[in-house]
Amino acid sequence: MNIHSLKTTDKIPEPTLRRLPWYLSNARLMKENGELYISSTQIARELGMDSSQISKDLSYVNVNGKPRVGYEINEFIEILEHILGFTEIHKAFLFGVGSLGGALLADSGLQHFGLEIVAAFDINPQIVGKEINHIPIYHTDEFIQKMKEEKVHIGVLTVPINIAQEITETMINGGIQAIWNFTPFRIRVPESIVVQNTSLYAHLALMFNRLNLNK
Amino acid sequence: MNIHSLKTTDKIPEPTLRRLPWYLSNARLMKENGELYISSTQIARELGMDSSQISKDLSYVNVNGKPRVGYEINEFIEILEHILGFTEIHKAFLFGVGSLGGALLADSGLQHFGLEIVAAFDINPQIVGKEINHIPIYHTDEFIQKMKEEKVHIGVLTVPINIAQEITETMINGGIQAIWNFTPFRIRVPESIVVQNTSLYAHLALMFNRLNLNK
């Protein structure tokens, strides 16, 4: 198998992309348990999902199953990791070393999924010049210079909401192409810029609301 | 205004619940800037959204606007915070003090949004008995006892995927009613249990995929 020949630039629908990590983690578990093959039917049973949904999702991924036995498990894992971008290291800069920003710097787990935060930026003199988890923290003014030194496409946004838009624009002007936005602020960006919103607070709100309904 | 009379148990659609935190953070910013009133039109302009969408979302929230001037900003903020559950403290237990779990314990920001992690559980003898950010870490075996001591409804799941389902069942058997699942594993739960999936890795995958499309 030559994974470089895969057409990974085909547009995979977002709901499918959200489900693929479930299939991947399921396959990793089954591999740990000694399985050599994996099928949509098995994944469906394990995850309590409809197997036709899984087959449809996997049709976007160039993985070839054998009738009756299913997909060869190592190939299945390799292809999914490749499609999901976890096999390549993507360098990132983080903006805003507050409580959440500091926590993300401390989370080495991100690197196993392809994200390496190579530096962080803040303006607080108490933390500029320090390191967290061996990641250096620079003054925000040094960002443009650091962009010249490192090939970074991704910016992680963990600043207070009152400067979220301003820092977004700083990032884009410096050449950042994708923003992982952890703020509950809806940032405005040109169409060419990728934004992934991960507001822990919005997720909390959803959970609290559903929990109250059950009371 | 008596916020206790609000019918917050009405079913608010999930997409609306996902957008309300944007309106809230926008209102907080406008308040900081000295504004006394806020309108759908203003929010729409600030967020680059359609104002009819905003009006529709706000129709699920019992906030009364005045023609021309809009909503009184303090009332607007108070009602949204209440609906989103940020004014009440919800106690939680965290399971799995690895890299991400430890990072979440260190993130004091969650408390400002209504989540207080009161204890964590793990089986690693290196960390059981220690504290992170003043939050005690107990052995998982002590969970049932701790549930009797504290009124906790929420469990934060940050364990490795191979024990995600097992720990989910432990939590539910102990009385946990809502699970904030940070693992990329699709946990199976009874219908009465609330699950909020926040897989940072699935979000990373989405971002990497979109970034590759733009290359």
The per-residue pLDDT for range A126-144, each reduced to its tens digit, is 999 999 999 999 999 999 9
pLDDT higher than threshold 90 for residue B80: yes
Give the lowest-confidence range in A9-23, B47-61, B151-165. A9-23
The rounded mean pLDDT for chain B is 90
CA distances from A128 to A135, A163, A184 (A): 11, 18, 25
Q: How confident is the model at residue B2 (pLDDT cuts 50, 70, 90)?
A: very low
Q: How confident is the model at residue B64 (pLDDT cuts 50, 70, 90)?
A: confident
The residue among A119, A113, A197, A96 whose CA lies nearest residue B107 is A96
Give the lowest-confidence range in A176-190, B61-75, B113-127. B61-75
Domains defined for chain B, CATH in brackets: 14-84 (1.10.10.10), 90-203 (3.40.50.720)
Nearest chain A Cα distance for residue B68, angstroms: 25
Mean pLDDT, to the nearest integer, of B109-127? 93
pLDDT higher than threshold 50 for residue A18: yes
Phi first, then psi, for residue B132 (nearest 5°) are -125, 125
Q: Is A90 helix (H, G, I), strand (E, B) or coil?
A: strand
Nearest CB neighbour to A21, from listed B11, B202, B214: B202
- Which pLDDT does position A7 carry in this prediction? 44
**Cα–Cα distance, A192 to B52 (Å, whole number):** 26
Mean pLDDT, to the nearest integer, of A45-52? 89
Hunting for tokens 């490192």 — which residue is that?
A150
- Which pLDDT does position A213 carry in this prediction? 67
Could you tell me which residue, A101 or B69, shows the higher pLDDT?
Answer: A101
- Which pLDDT does position A24 carry in this prediction? 93
The per-residue pLDDT for range B25-38, each reduced to its tens digit, is 999 999 999 999 99
Q: Is A35 on the interface with B (CB under 8 A)?
A: no
pLDDT higher than threshold 80 for residue A3: no
Mean pLDDT, to the nearest integer, of A75-103? 93
Q: Which residues of A touch B85 (CB under 8 A)?
A: 204-205, 208-209, 211-212
Nearest CB neighbour to B208, from listed A85, A104, A204: A85
Q: How confident is the model at residue B5 (pLDDT cuts 50, 70, 90)?
A: very low
Name residues 143-172 of chain A within 8 A of B (Cβ).
Answer: 153-154, 161-162
Q: Which residues of A touch B21 (CB under 8 A)?
A: 184, 199, 201-202, 205
Q: What's the angle, vertex CA A153, arms to CA A81 and CA A93, rounded to 5?
A: 100
H helices within chain A, ranges in order?
14-32, 40-47, 51-58, 73-83, 99-106, 109-112, 143-149, 164-174, 200-214
B207–A196 CB contact, under 8 Å: yes
- Which pLDDT does position B113 carry in this prediction? 86
pLDDT higher than threshold 90 for residue A112: no
**Cα–Cα distance, B57 to B40 (Å, whole number):** 10
Mean pLDDT, to the nearest integer, of A56-78? 89
The per-residue pLDDT for range A170-210, each reduced to its tens digit, is 999 999 999 999 998 999 999 999 999 998 988 999 999 88
